[in-house]
Amino acid sequence: NAGVTQTPKFQVLKTGQSMTLQCAQDMNHNSMYWYRQDPGMGLRLIYYSASEGTTDKGEVPNGYNVSRLNKREFSLRLESAAPSQTSVYFCASKDTQAQPQHFGDGTRLSIL
């Protein structure tokens, strides 16, 4: 019953460091998503992947890159971390149009 698994759960970085957040799903879903959650702002879409081999920008893509490694895995990379990227990051996946998204437990990222 793993669902969507995110690693790590917590991370502290210094400004300018790079890091990759990992996400894997075992539900054979086609679509995967990365969101960030900030206080009072709900969740905002960073990037998504409608299917293996494709990625598209969301609402707030600046400062991030993604890789859809295979159908299961979708990683988010911060090349040069900035304090403004301090947030909680959620990965999600879904299958068909009408189905809901399934979320991971999140990665809490602090950038000093």
Partner 1 sequence: GNSVTQMEGPVTLSEEAFLTINCTYTATGYPSLFWYVQYPGEGLQLLLKATKADDKGSNKGFEATYRKETTSFHLEKGSVQVSDSAVYFCALTPRPGRRALTFGSGTRLQVQP
Which chain residues interact with partner 1 by CB under 8 A?
4, 30-31, 33, 35, 40-45, 48, 50-51, 58, 90, 92, 94, 96-98, 100-106
CB of 15 to partner 1, least distance (A): 26
Rounded to an integer, what distance in angstroms lies between the CA atom of residue 109 and that of residue 66? 17
Closer CB to partner 1, 33 or 64, in the complex: 33
CB of 110 to partner 1, least distance (A): 15
Nearest by Cα to 47 from 13, 87, 92: 92
Determine whether 71 is exposed, middle or buried from the number of CB atoms within 10 Å of its CB (0-12, 13-18, 19+): middle
CB of 9 to partner 1, least distance (A): 10
Closer CB to partner 1, 53 or 100, in the complex: 100
Closer CB to partner 1, 31 or 85, in the complex: 31
CB 35 within 8 A of CB 100: no
CB 63 within 8 A of CB 13: no
